[in-house]
Structure 1
Amino acid sequence: MSPTAENNRKVIILAGPGESTNILFHALDAEFGIAHIIVETPVSQQMLLKRRSKKLGYGTVAGQILFKLLIAGPLSRRSRQRLLQIRREANLDNQPLPEERVIRVESVNSAACIAQLQELNPAVIVVNGTRIISQQVLTSVGAKFINTHAGITPLYRGVHGGYWALANSDPSHCGVSVHLVDPGIDTGAIIAQALIQPTANDNFVTYPLLQLVAGLPLLKQAVRDALQGILQLKPAPEGKSRLWSHPTLAEYIRIRRRFGVC
């Protein structure tokens, strides 16, 4: 399907800034012609740490910071060639967003964002990397809100779902989900899911890109179906629903020593 003016009025993106948003935009724009992408300002690191400390405790958050500094950072630098390989093989475009099509708002839950959504009046809103979207926003327009989550929901909600599945010796649930958005954290009805098959060259920082590659075809089909009014939902996989957070340094070392998960 080539981009048309009609599609421009039907599909928009509501996202936070970052490489995954860039990749998602270009992939969808090539097929649907995305006229506008609304980008929110991320929550500050100070506020994130404050909220996380209140929820998880200062000790856990300190361990997560150490993991980011001592493990995730060095892994990212060592994995540059592998990340480049994945992008090339999947023909991903991570170039910056075209500023002329970007609408910036302070928050997806702001009155300004609601006003923009109502003015654009889309049929489908693709969500990526935002804070939790309020019920007020979700009901402000008649569009379907669709999200791609890096994990198999509802078993692996939250962050790093692929890593946590492997860390739990659960490769049969190491994958990606495309789902409708509700006010919960990755609790919306499931549209489609797919598994990934990490190689020996993959690790904590490459799993999300593999999940994005696996999720893009599912997302495109979900958007097509939503536009045609034939979107179908799938039952959730059996198992305990759990919300996962970032690993601490101690957790990562223990899991790597015991299971070999990088």
Structure 2
Amino acid sequence: LTRLGKRFFAGHAARLIAEEKLETEPRPTQTIIHVPSANGPECLQAIEKIGPGVVLLAGCRLLSRNMLAKMPCPVLNYHAGIAPKYRGMNGGYWALASGDRGNFGTTVHLVDAGVDTGGVLKQARGKSKRGDTIASYALRQAAFSRDICVQAVAEALAGKLTTIDPGLPSKQWFHPTIWSYLWTGLTKRVW
């Protein structure tokens, strides 16, 4: 359903990208290294070759304990949800669907072997706008979260990472079923 929604609302996404001045394509000076798996030896070899001071994940599969143990630098994750309350999938959608509009936001956290369970470094909260849906919430969240990503990376490079306690309960969320998605859309107008 999410894939269908992305196609159906592609025009809205394009307007959002233009309105928020989001860069969705690599810059000409960037080098893209394709690896078969984030947990594979090719990924680790690429990281060792580059020698980064920090790795920032966004939309990446979970890294194994073994891979994390071999990382030569801090590993951070950009998560489209307020952790730990909205860990896992579609954090912005679930905040809205739960009537928790004040927690429509994002988190940058340290990566551990759990699902968005590492220490919280930065959080940003924002608002969805008319026309946003489960297919565009992540774009909206990315737009108001650029600063926290830059700040967290700068702090990691300076060796000054400090975690915060958001004081929230922890729950892992998954994609909604088609029936719960339709019910939430019809009853709460959260699509």
Normalised by the length of structure 1, the TM-score is 0.67
DSSP 3-state at the match of 1:147: strand
* Structure 1 residues 251 and 98, CA gap change in structure 2 (3 angstroms): same
Larger Rg: 1
Equivalent in 129, 135, 138 of residue 199 of structure 1? 129
| 1:99, distance to aligned residue in structure 2 (A) | 9.5
For residues 171-216 of structure 1, give each alpha carbon's deviation from its aligned partner in whole angstroms, at most 9, with x where no partner exists: 1211111111111111111111111211222111111101111222
| 1:75, distance to aligned residue in structure 2 (A) | 3.2
Residue in structure 2 matched with residue 189 of structure 1 by the alignment: 119
Rounded to whole Å, the distance in 1 between the matches of 2:102 and 2:124 is 10
Aligned pair 1:157/2:87, yes or no? Answer: yes
Rounded to whole Å, the distance in 1 between the matches of 2:34 and 2:3 is 29
DSSP 3-state at the match of 1:131: coil
Residue in structure 2 matched with residue 237 of structure 1 by the alignment: 167
Task: Map residues 85-96 of structure 1 onto 2, 5 A cutoff.
Answer: 85-96=15-26
Equivalent in 73, 92, 99 of residue 143 of structure 1? 73
Residue in structure 1 matched with residue 62 of structure 2 by the alignment: 132
- Structure 1: stretches of 5+ with no match in the other structure: 1-67
- Which structure's residues are more often helix, by fraction? 1
Residue in structure 2 matched with residue 254 of structure 1 by the alignment: 183
Equivalent in 82, 87, 97 of residue 12 of structure 2? 82
Letter in 2 for 1:82: H
* Structure 1 residues 97 and 110, CA gap change in structure 2 (3 angstroms): farther
Rounded to whole Å, the distance in 2 between the matches of 1:107 and 1:160 is 23
Letter in 2 for 1:244: W
Residue in structure 1 matched with residue 152 of structure 2 by the alignment: 222
Rounded to whole Å, the distance in 2 between the matches of 1:79 and 1:116 is 36
DSSP 3-state at the match of 1:177: strand
Normalised by the length of structure 2, the TM-score is 0.91
The total of aligned residue pairs comes to 191
CA contact (8 A) 2:48 2:72 kept: no
